[in-house]
Amino acid sequence: MEDLNSFSRRDFLRGVGALSAAGLTLWAGGCESCKRQIQQRPTRRNIANLPANDPVIQAYKDAVAAMKALPASDGRNWTKQAEIHQNKCVHSNWWFLPWHRAYLFYFERICRQLSGYNDFALPYWNWTSSPSIPAPFWGAGNPLLNTTRTATQASVANSSMVGSATITNILNQTNFFLFASDQATTQQEFAGYGMLEGTPHNYIHGFVGGDMGAFMSPLDPVFWCHHNMIDCLWVDWNINRGNPNTNDPNWANFQFADFVDETGAPVTVQAIITVLYPIFSYQFEACGPTTLTAKISDRVQLEKFLREGAPAKLEFVKRFELRQSLTAELQKPASGSIKIEPEAFRSVLESAGKDKAVLTVDEVDVPEKQDVFVRVFINKPDASSQTSLDDPHYAGSFAFFCCPSESSMKGHEGMAATGRPKAGYLVDLTPTLQKLNQGGSLSGGQLDVTLVPVPFDERPPTTQRLTIGRLEVGVARF
């Protein structure tokens, strides 16, 4: 198992496979060659900015081709790698980010080994700046092409899901659970989607479609570059903006025993180890809408900050629930009225207040085809898919990513009779309520929540209706 006590120069030469308490002394002047290797660690770059003949793109193609040629008995085999995600993936809970970071970490090492390109760093797809699937993933005979995609080269991702304003709003969240998904007790429990996972992550899976639309999504090479963008945004949120991860030992000490290294040998990874990967093993070319550098410039202090995290809570001091089945259709949005106590939201409406208003959209039946997403409006029952996102009543959006078959959901908790989970989404209503209050359109003892299903693009959606079992507005104290 990789732990905090197994560090050596050999580990640096292998790609910093293990990290330890010795790291702090390295920054302070120990092992000069190791220190140099950390400072010169590979940079993960935006694939859309790389020329077609860039060695990183060629190495990625060579590695994918090599993985597809490996026997099925080899854990590095292309399909075997996808089956790790199918059988063990973490979604809709607080291990979503560290599990996928470890998955990418070992995949990158496998690519480096099989391509023979020792400087290989996995590129990312920045769907905010390049909302169409980048050119390296297209072309007959290209190992990076996946012919099951429903998106074409001309398809453009919806800005309400991946645009600069949406991503900036997510990065501005300071609460770990709102950003990174809700607390869970088991690896495959569907606890609740945070905003990074529930909005751009889920949406891009459905937007690309085909293999990407289900849990065998790693069969499409674009998967790895999509998740690398998610990892880059976690770095931006955690390191550049200085937002702490949770220090809950149940999160930090959790072990993932799902991956293989570049030799095909099984490995076990502790969640807390993954927070150090970006400062020891790789770094990112800036991917956020605003270019930022690490908030903590001193490397010793940065490592200490990442190791320690901070207490994180989403403590609801007031809850107001509507337990009523709602059905939203493409041409007929669903609306539900939640009775509230206006006084309970006073601290939320104060611009300097520390409390937040959080909407939980819960017990959502995940559709078989995840080809629509949902926009949320407050106190606007006439909202439709044509309503401007600049409307002050607009609160946010969420999308679906799941599984077309019961077999892909073995081991997952929170299952519905359909063989798919019932999902829950967290939406920060604070900015919306503050706008409505300032505009004089927030009054009375109820909040009207309107849920508007929206098709991805010009493709006719299969999904025609969605069922929601519960709405809750809570006043959360961090």
Domains, the chain, in order of start with CATH, read 9-308 (1.10.1280.10), 318-477 (2.60.120)
Successive 10-residue mean pLDDT values, the chain, 478 residues: 42 46 53 77 97 97 98 98 96 97 98 97 98 98 97 95 96 96 94 96 96 96 98 98 97 97 97 96 95 90 95 92 92 93 90 84 88 94 93 96 56 51 92 92 89 84 86 92
Whole-angstrom distance, CA of residue 163 vs CA of residue 166? 5
pLDDT on residue 6: 39
Rounded to 5 degrees, φ, ψ at 406 are -65, -30
What global pTM score does this model have?
A: 0.92
CA distances from 391 to 12, 128, 158, 379, 410 (A): 51, 21, 17, 11, 42
What is d(CA 149, CA 152) in angstroms, rounded to the nearest whole number? Answer: 7
For residue 52, count other CB atoms closer than 10 A to its CB: 9
Q: Write out the two tokens for 279.
A: 């400062």
pLDDT at 202: 97
- Distance CA(14)–CA(26), nearest Å, equals 17
* Pair of tokens at residue 161: 């899901």
Task: Give 196-246 pLDDT, tens digit per residue.
Answer: 999 999 999 999 999 999 999 999 999 999 999 999 999 999 999 999 999
pLDDT tens track for 344-361: 999 899 866 679 999 999
